[in-house]
């Protein structure tokens, strides 16, 4: 996957990047309810699980905006990946632990779903934090907390404060005023993303959820 280096001197975001990375180091999170009212019946009709559909939608939203793909390469150069793929957690029912796995992404949902299904079949019984080795550098993290419908979620990452990629977490969907809603939390670094970009992500995610017929009902 191609990594595009950013020229800081000509980057229009340079003063914001410097401020929120070096002066007031800052991350923030946003939680919104995504309307699944139209999507869930389509998933049931196609016998498709929600989690891989969610992974598909969030990956499309991430790949639509380079702000969510901005990070450092292995040599420490700032830039952005041309495309990214999801690295996601899954739950082990027998001992209540979780593992992380990554899956190659394809724009065709059913091809992606095949990749997801194959990975879960091959690695789903592996225990430990990492279930599938050799994770490429162009992944972003996704997780799910399907036992609670949270109204806010925040991860506290202790380190050098230079983790720039988005972190996406979904909760338990619930019924409200005739709609089925899924709480989704997005955590980003303010050096590369503002509230505007977080809003773009949530709005894009809703468009994918509302437009399920375009990618689920294949001819």
- Closest-CA residue to 79 (of 11, 161, 135): 11
Other Cβ atoms within 10 Å of 30 Cβ, number: 18
Q: Is the CB of residue 218 less than 8 Å from the CB of residue 110?
A: yes
Instruction: Name the strand (E) or helix (H) holding 96.
Output: none
pLDDT in the model for residue 20:
96
Percent of the chain at pLDDT > 70 equals 99
pTM beyond 0.85, yes or no? yes
- State whether the Cα torsion 167-72-157-11 is positive or negative: negative
Where along the chain do its domains lie?
3-7+14-21+29-211
Strand order in the sheet with 70-72: 3-5, 78-81, 70-72
Q: Please, where are the H alpha helices in 64-194?
A: 109-123
Task: Kindly state which CATH superfamily the domain 3-7+14-21+29-211 is placed in.
Answer: Chloramphenicol acetyltransferase-like domain (3.30.559.10)
20-21-22 Cα angle (round to 5):
105
Label residue 217 by pLDDT band (50, 70, 90). confident
Instruction: Indicate which residues carry an active-site annotation.
Output: 190
pLDDT, one tens digit per residue, over 17-58 is 999 999 999 999 999 999 999 999 999 999 999 999 999 999
pLDDT for the residue 128? 96
Q: How far apart are CA 159 and CA 176, in angstroms?
A: 39
- Predicted confidence (pLDDT) at residue 219 exceeds the cutoff of 60: no
Give CA–CA dist 142/87, Å, rounded: 6
Per-residue 3-state assignment (H helix, E strand, C coil) for 155-192: CCCCCCCCCCCCEEEECCCEEECCEEEEEEEEEEECCC
| pLDDT tens per residue, range 129-173 | 999 999 999 999 999 999 999 999 998 887 788 999 999 999 999
Average model confidence (pLDDT) across the chain:
96
Q: pLDDT band for 183, please (50, 70, 90 cuts).
A: very high
Q: What per-residue confidence (pLDDT) applies to 93?
A: 94
């Amino acid at each position: 996957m191609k990594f595009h280096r950013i020229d800081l001197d000509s980057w229009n975001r340079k003063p914001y990047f410097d401020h929120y990375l070096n002066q007031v180091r800052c991350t923030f999170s946003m939680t919104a309810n995504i309307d699944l009212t139209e999507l869930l019946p389509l998933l049931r009709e196609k016998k498709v699980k929600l989690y891989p559909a969610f992974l598909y939608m969030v990956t499309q939203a991430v790949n639509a905006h380079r702000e969510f793909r901005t990070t450092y390469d292995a040599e420490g150069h700032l830039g952005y990946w041309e495309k990214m793929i999801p690295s996601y957690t899954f739950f082990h029912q027998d001992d209540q632990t979780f593992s992380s796995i990554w899956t190659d992404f394809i724009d065709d949902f059913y091809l992606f779903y095949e990749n997801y299904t194959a990975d879960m079949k091959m690695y789903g019984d592996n225990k430990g934090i990492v279930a599938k080795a050799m994770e490429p550098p162009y992944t972003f993290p996704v997780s799910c907390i399907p036992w609670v419908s949270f109204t806010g979620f925040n991860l506290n990452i202790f380190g050098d404060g230079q983790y720039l990629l988005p972190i996406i977490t979904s909760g338990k969907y619930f019924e409200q005023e005739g709609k089925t809603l899924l709480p989704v939390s997005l955590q980003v670094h303010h050096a590369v993303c503002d509230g505007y970009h977080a809003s773009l992500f949530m709005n894009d995610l809703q468009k994918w959820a509302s437009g399920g017929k375009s990618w689920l009902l294949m001819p």
